[in-house]
Amino acid sequence: MRHTQSASLLAALLSATTQVAAHGHVTNLVVDGVYYEGFDINVFPYETDPPKVAAWTTPNTGNGFISPDEYRNPNIICHENATNAQAHVVVGAGEKVNVQWTAWPSSHHGPVLDYLARCSGSCETADKTELEFFKIDGVGLISDSEVPGTWGTDQLIANNNSWMVEIPPTIAPGNYVLRHELIALHGAEETDGAQNYPQCFNLQVTGTGTATPSGVLGTELYTSTEAGILVNIYSSLATYTVPGPSLYSGAVSITQTTSAITSTGTAVVGSASGVASGPEVPASTITPAPAYTAATAGSSSGTQSLYGQCGGINYSGASACASGSSCHSYNPYYYQCIASA
C-alpha cells in the first residue's frame, strides 16, 4: 500500500522550490501512443511504497547536474546515486520512443544524446558500472547563424520539451537500458563548466534483428577536455563535434515530432531474463491528459533560485540570488546562481 498523505504534504512543500530551481527531468515515456509514468522526483522519494516504473530511481530531488569532474564516477551513468528501475517497457525494434521532459531552460543550449546498453540478464538487477553503451542518437549544433546558435535542446523545447528516438531495427531482441541525456553548454568554456543530465530507462526490445553492437562503459563515455565538452558556444563555431563515442552504424535519424497519447500503460514488473522475439502487449487503462508546466519569466526585482539564471547580455530577469547562493558569471551572456562556498 502506498502511504501518500504525509508524502504528498512534504512534496507539496518542496515542489515550488524544486520546480523553480529545476533544470529538468523526464516525466514519462510514450511508446506507440501508450503513456508510461517516469520517476517522479517530487513525490516518489518520500513514499514508502512508490510505484514500480521503467525509469531508474534517483534521490536527485533538486534536478541537479553531473559535472565533468565526475565523468569517471558512476553518477554519470544514470544520474546521482541512481539505482535500477524495477520494471521495464516493451518496445519493438524499429519503434519510436518519445521522451517527455519538464520545461527545459532556453538558456541551457547543448546536445541531446541517446544510448542503449544490452543487459546480460535482467536490467532490473544489472550492475550499471558494467553496462556498455552504444550511441543511437546525437544532435548537437543545428545552426550557428546567430550566437549562441540553435542546438538539439532548442529543438527539444520546440517539440513540447520532448524528444523522439527510434530503437534501431537491426539490434537483437533482449533487455536494454536506454540512456537519454541533455548536456548544457552555457558555461562550458570553463573547465568542468558543462552540465550533464542523464536519465535511464529499462526496455525489453522485441524483434528479429541480430546486431549486438559493442559499447563503452558509462564512466568512459566522455573526457572533460574533449571538444564537445570544453567549448565556448558564445563564439562563432565553424563546427561542433557531439561528444562521446561514434554513432552506431544502424542508428536511424528521424524528424522530431510529438507522440499522441491514446492510453496509459503500466510498466512490466519483474525480471525479463529471456529473449523475446515477438511483441508483448502492455496493459493499458484510460486516456490521460498530462499537464505540462511552462517556465515563467523572472522579474528584475525578484530573487532567483539556486542554479537559476541571474544575469547576462539581454537577460531581464531577477539578478539577486536566494539565500545561500551567489551570482557567478560564466560569460557575458550567462550568469548563474550557485551555492556559496
**Confidence (pLDDT) at 19:** 34
Specify the residue for cell string 550568469: 335
**Confidence (pLDDT) at 334:** 59
Q: Is there a contact between 149 and 237 (Cβ–Cβ < 8 Å)? A: yes
**Confidence (pLDDT) at 314:** 62
pTM attached to this predicted model: 0.79
Domains and CATH numbers, the chain: 27-38+51-284 (2.70.50.70), 303-339 (no CATH)
Which stretches of the chain drop beneath a pLDDT of 50?
A: 1-22, 274-299
**Confidence (pLDDT) at 59:** 80
Residue of 76, 141, 65, 75 whose CA lies nearest to 104: 65
Contacts 24+ apart (CB under 8 A), 140-143: 140/110, 140/111, 140/228, 140/240, 140/241, 140/242, 141/111, 141/237, 141/239, 141/240
**Confidence (pLDDT) at 75:** 97
Give the three-state DSSP class for 320. Answer: strand
In which region does residue 81 sit, left (phi positive, over 0), alpha (psi from -120 to 50) or beta (all else)? left
Q: Measured at the alpha carbon of residue 48, what is the angle toward residues 57 and 62, in degrees to the nearest 5?
A: 45
**Confidence (pLDDT) at 8:** 39
Specify the residue for cell string 541517446: 114
Single-letter code of the amino acid located at 75: N
| Residues comprising the chain, all counted | 341
**Confidence (pLDDT) at 298:** 41
